[in-house]
Amino acid sequence: MRRLIKAGAVLATLTLAGALAACGASSPGSGGSSAKTTTLTISNENGALWTCDFSPFNGSDTLLSVGLVYETLDYVNPLQSGKVTPMLATSYSWGAGDKSLTFTIRPGVKFSNGTPMSAKDVAYTFNLLKKYPALDLSGVWSVLSSVTQTGADQVTMDFSAPAVPWFYYIADQVPIVSQAIWSKIANPVAYPDTHPVGTGPYLVNPCTSANITYTANPDYWQAGEPRVKKIEYPAFTSNNTANDELANGQAQWGAQYIPSIASFYTSKSPDFHYWFPPTVNVSIVPNLTNPLLGNVKVRQAISYAINRSQVSSLGESGYEPPANQTGIVTPTFSSTLDSSLVAQIGNAYDPAKARQLLEQAGYKMNSAGVMTNAKGQQLSFTVINIGDYSDWVADMQVIAQDLKAVGIVVTPDNLTNTDFEADLYYGKYQLAFYDQQTFGPSPYYELNNWLNSADTAPIGKVATTNYERYSNTVTESLLNQYAATTSTATQQSIMNQIQQVMVSDVPIIPVVEAVDWYQYDTASFSGWPTAADPYAQPSAYAYPDMEQVLLHLQPK
Amino acid sequence: MRYVLRRLGFFILTLWAALTFNFLLPRLMPGNPALAMLGKFHGNLTPQSLNALEILFGVNTHKSLPTQYVDYLHQIVTGNFGTSLDFYPASVDSVIGGAIWWTLGLVGITTVLAFVLGTGLGIVAAWRRGGRLDSVLPPVFVIASAVPYFWVGMVLVLVFGINLHWLPYVDGYYVATDTPSLSPQFIGDVLSHAILPALSLLITTIGTWILTMRNTMITTLAEDYVRMARAKGLPGWRVMLDYAARNAILPNLTGFAMSLGFVVSGAILIEYVFNYPGVGFMLLQAVQGEDYPLMQALFLLITVAVLVAILIADLATALLDPRTRAAS
Amino acid sequence: MALQATIETRRLPTSQALARIGRAVRSNRKATAGTALLAIFILVSLFPGVIAHDNPTLDAYAPHLGLSSAHLLGTTAYGQDIWAQLAWGTRNVMIIAFTAGLATTAIAVLVGIAAAYLGGLWDASLNVLTDVLLVIPLFPLLIVIAGYAHGGGTLVLIVVITATSWSYTARQLRSQALTLRGRDFLEAARVRGERKLYIIVVEVIPTMTSLIVASFLTNALYAVLFASSLQFIGLGDPNTVSWGTMLYWAQNNAALQTGQPLWALAPGACIAALGAAFALLNYAFDEIGNPALRPVRVRPLKRGKPRA
């Protein structure tokens, strides 16, 4: 008995002593940034440990390899209306009728194993995607008919039909790999690529499940670059840890959603900043086959009833700005916005107008405060939402309150990701809350997905992106015309007409704008992208944009 | 001997029950939840991995339930729990391997500490019956036992982590700046991160030990042989420890086994509050990420751990207390 | 959780037994405190509007407000009044506590006493079921079930908790029922020719009232703890107003780290207080059980005064 107690006391003392020693040993201390360093640490919670696979054709690995190790033909900046920065291709030109695209490949570029990169590798890469459609993440072969090397340093791509917007995917999203290496791989789809060989500014050295270290490529084709010589990319399995270490200054480049960011992060140091550039709309998606929602006045009423600023400030802590019914994301694409149309809409939040529209549609408020029509049908709907996204759940709570005020009852149904997607794709819902998963250099990319009849399907079949089942031949022809022109004037005129469609037909109701998550610490590095200088999409997970960020950064 | 066999038999029975429950649950849920989960893998699994998951969850199979059951048991016995969804394409076994040490460390050491300290305090309280310690402790710990574990954790986070900045309160170590190794820096990092979670667990579990020990001590102190020892003139602390406490502690062992389930449960929430990367936190992440293979395996692991601990406690009691052996 | 089963040496009529309990509650300090606390919570759950004038779900105010006379505990990150949420959330918690507590105790009574009285194969199999469920760690089990069910509203929580938590009480009730088996008053009933069911319902169960009541309190406490924990980790319905869901939203918004600690600590404190109420009552029952329900002792007659 005595011995037991003695043992316990010894154990307790040891633990306490060890802990006290530990207090002095580590702990960089919170608040204030770390010591000046030339190693950049990224805080991007991926929810899992690293697999140390770097295949540039595997959607889970692209953010770790494309831009850092592998490069693309050009860099196309979605935040500057598609401004092109030549990378592996020095120039490009469109052929007759915009049905062919020719790239001139940069000379003197080497893969990290010393072999030179040439037009041969470019042509090979694209044809690899054709041979193995699972590798074609952007689906470029849905518009290409052939890719051939047409000169010592030229590659020509032929289109089956004009698809000008696809320039973004072809030039910016396809990583170029070495033919010498990849032609010897038996099964490229399953190839893990644990030791990637690319033309990019960094080498993987080494990778463990807990952390990836990137070191500068000494033979990188841009002389003097990269100036950040080492990158540490730890594997965070929980958001809290990633946020905490960002707030401690242990990581300098964050891609995190941080609640109450002012008190959590920016107040801790004058060097801590954030910027959330808006990308796509988060919208209420009505099922247009629903008889009550099929009435455009009901949809317009919904649009006027929602206090978007309140949804943004309460549901999204103000991080995601209010959207507008034209579907144009501002300020990212403000230059495309048709201001006369905006003036026409008037006050976007107008409950009185909403009630008026409903009355015009034949609805009257009943004793329970719900709009009912002559046939006794009530404006009461369920809205499906992804339960895991607590900010979307909070958004819907505000929206429900706003709609109740004009007599429309919406009951949220919070589902898991998989259940939600299943219901959405097959059209088994009344209202849904969602955003498109694609973002590009103009509003076309998102709006085309929403409005193109080619992307929809009847209820019971899978709709790829046009979930609301919107079908309109005029709109479709407008979208196809956009795809066939390189003239910015024509593009703008078509965009104006698309905005008109959004306002008159109300196929979806944009509420807030989704953003890129981005925090940065200016203590040790300068050259970060900002709202004033949006030279690239700033999130660490945006590829190949993160390469541009890294090439601009320099240690102080 | 019969006692040992009985306990072993019970252990195997409960183990079988847990396995069967694990087998039945996904198959009983409306709209087999595993189907949707498998869809997420996008057909990227090797045929063996796919087969393993199909056996575990009973999807895409036309075999009869009994055949599925046999396949399932065979697979579990060979330790094949399939591929994890959250940590794809890592196997579930490899993923759990990392987390288990954190929980063993935290829960193991804290439980021992709680047992030792609690038992000690209980002995002292009983010995000084009616003293200040004795009258204060029971009501304090009755109330403390009703306090949710995670709340204690939150208060500690707020006071020592956020307001005073004395200790870290997120994760097991500084992920961004430290790499797992045997260096003193890393070990120090781990220890400093373990203090607050361990303290939370200690505060909430120690009450049971104190109270049970105190109660059994009070009963034991009334026994004749204790009175005899005192009459013989033995020093007080010797009577307290070598005569009374030694016997009073035995029921605590069974109590220890019974409360192990609660310790595990409490540890899950404490790991959640502190983001401590143990099996409890991983279970919650698996649930939130719908990673059913991982969830299943973790549940089995936790259950088996508790069952094994109970078995050991039972066998230890049999070893230490001849009365138990005789009773059976 | 040291419930000591109290064993009666002589049976009292139910009304007298309950009256004694009532008197004992009033005289024991712990019991009084516990009852008072519980009564406060029950009152708040029935009439939350009396102490909280705001709508708990409406995002009506500015977010992140501190303490003030308008907002006793401040507002959440969504502009909701925390005090109102706490008050209105009491209703959900009490519903869970009482429903799950009663249901669990009812099942435990059924299983435990039936096992003791039916004996034989029934006893053996129910016993095995009880013991197995007893050792399987409950919270992980709840997590897995709720996980497969993708969480659920209050009803799902109650059902899931009830289905898994009855074993401890069942075992206790069974042991006590077994000790009662040989008692004279039961022998008398059997000899009288009463049916087994009658004996169980009319003779046995009332005798075990104190244990059953104590078990109900324990089960209610654990129902609240489990349900709140499940809601906390996101397996409840985040749109209900309850202490556990308050914790969920507070955690999601890093309330502790962003200067809104009350949002997280207040619901936890309430759970602790309610738990303390149940625990105090339980502890008091332990102490009361023996003296109050002991066999009636003849009190010496005071001159001129009738026997009390």
pLDDT digits (tens, 9 = 90+) for A502-543: 999 999 999 999 999 999 999 999 999 999 999 999 999 999
In this prediction, residue C204 has a pLDDT band, given cuts at 50, 70 and 90, of: confident
Chain B contact set for C268 (CB, 8 A): 148, 150-151, 154
pLDDT tens-place string over residues B209-254 = 887 788 788 778 878 888 888 888 888 888 877 877 777 777 777 6
More confident: B33 or C133? C133
Give the closest residue to B143 by CA, choosing from A133, C277, A187: C277
Closest B-chain CA to A16: B195
B:C CB pairs within 8 Å: 132
- pLDDT, residue C298, reads 40
- pLDDT, residue A255, reads 94
Of A299-308, A458-467, B302-311, the one with minimum mean pLDDT is B302-311
- pLDDT, residue C4, reads 38
Distance (Å, whole) CA C235 – CA A221:
52
- pLDDT, residue C210, reads 79
pLDDT at C42 over 80: yes
pLDDT at C290 over 80: no
Closest A-chain CA to B187: A22
Q: Which two tokens stand for residue A196?
A: 């990637």
Chain B contact set for C263 (CB, 8 A): none
- pLDDT, residue A284, reads 97
Of A41-45, A278-282, C22-26, C63-67, the one with minimum mean pLDDT is C22-26
pLDDT tens-place string over residues B58-108 = 776 777 888 888 888 888 888 888 888 777 767 888 888 888 889 888 988
**Partner A contacted by C148 (CB < 8 A):** no
Please, what sign has the CA dihedral across residues C98, C100, C103, C104? negative
Q: Judge contact between C270 and C90, C-beta under 8 A.
A: yes
Phi, psi (5° rounding) for residue A86? -65, 135
More confident: A4 or C172? C172
- pLDDT, residue C296, reads 36
Q: Which fold has domain C2-48+83-292?
A: MetI-like fold (1.10.3720)
pLDDT tens-place string over residues A119-176 = 999 999 999 999 999 899 988 999 999 999 999 999 999 999 889 999 999 999 999 9
Question: Which of the residue ranges A541-545, C119-123, C253-257 has the most confident prediction, judged by mean pLDDT?
Answer: A541-545
pLDDT at C279 over 90: no
In this prediction, residue A55 has a pLDDT band, given cuts at 50, 70 and 90, of: very high
Mutation target among A265, A266, A317 for the C interface, most CBs of C within 10 A: A317
In this prediction, residue B328 has a pLDDT band, given cuts at 50, 70 and 90, of: very low
Please, what sign has the CA dihedral across residues C142, C146, C149, C154? positive
pLDDT at A406 over 90: yes
- pLDDT, residue C259, reads 85
* Cα angle value C275/C276/C279 (rounded, 5°): 85
- pLDDT, residue A197, reads 96
pLDDT at A26 over 60: no
Q: Which two tokens stand for residue A548?
A: 């541009």
A:C CB pairs within 8 Å: 57
CB contact under 8 A, B177 and A250: yes
More confident: A149 or C184? A149
Residue A206: Cβ within 10 Å count: 12
- pLDDT, residue A31, reads 38
Average pLDDT over chain A reads: 90
Q: Give the number of C-alpha atoms closer than 13 A to the C-alpha of residue A234, restricted to the C-beta side.
A: 26
φ/ψ region of A264 (left if φ > 0, alpha if ψ in -120 to 50, else beta) reads: alpha
Which of B33, B148, B283 minimises the CB distance to C228? B148
Chain A contact set for C253 (CB, 8 A): 259-260
More confident: A273 or A10? A273
- Supply the ipTM of this predicted assembly: 0.85
In this prediction, residue A24 has a pLDDT band, given cuts at 50, 70 and 90, of: very low
User: In chain B, what percentage of residues exceed pLDDT 90?
Assistant: 10
In this prediction, residue A186 has a pLDDT band, given cuts at 50, 70 and 90, of: very high
Of A255-264, B146-155, B175-184, C296-305, the one with minimum mean pLDDT is C296-305
The arithmetic mean of pLDDT across residues A260-288, rounded, is 94
Which of A9, A25, A60 minimises the CB distance to B184? A25
Distance (Å, whole) CA A124 – CA A130:
10
Alpha-carbon gap: B148 to the closest alpha carbon of chain C (Å): 6
Distance (Å, whole) CA B156 – CA C256:
11
Alpha-carbon gap: B303 to the closest alpha carbon of chain C (Å): 6
Distance (Å, whole) CA A532 – CA A180:
43
Q: Give the number of C-alpha atoms closer than 13 A to the C-alpha of residue A101, restricted to the C-beta side.
A: 28
Interface of B with A in 38-67 (CB under 8 A): 39-40, 44
Which of B116, B165, B174 minimises the CB distance to A245? B174
pLDDT tens-place string over residues B259-270 = 676 677 778 999
- pLDDT, residue A281, reads 96
Q: Judge contact between C239 and A411, C-beta under 8 A.
A: no
pLDDT tens-place string over residues C76-116 = 888 889 999 999 999 999 999 999 999 999 999 988 888 88
Alpha-carbon gap: A19 to the closest alpha carbon of chain C (Å): 24
The arithmetic mean of pLDDT across residues A464-477, rounded, is 93
Residues 6 or more apart from C306 whose CB is under 8 A from it?
A: none
Chain C contact set for A414 (CB, 8 A): 237-239
- pLDDT, residue C24, reads 66
Chain B contact set for C280 (CB, 8 A): 139, 142-143
pLDDT tens-place string over residues A325-365 = 999 999 999 999 998 998 888 889 999 999 999 999 999 99
Would you give the end-to-end CA distance of chain C in angstroms?
Answer: 36
CB contact under 8 A, A5 and B120: yes
pLDDT tens-place string over residues A215-248 = 999 999 999 999 999 999 999 888 889 999 999 9
CB contact under 8 A, B175 and A241: yes
The arithmetic mean of pLDDT across residues B177-184, rounded, is 83
**Partner A contacted by B177 (CB < 8 A):** yes
Please, what sign has the CA dihedral across residues B84, B86, B89, B95? negative
The arithmetic mean of pLDDT across residues B132-148, rounded, is 74
Q: Where are the beta strands (DSSP E) in A401-508?
A: 409-415, 431-435
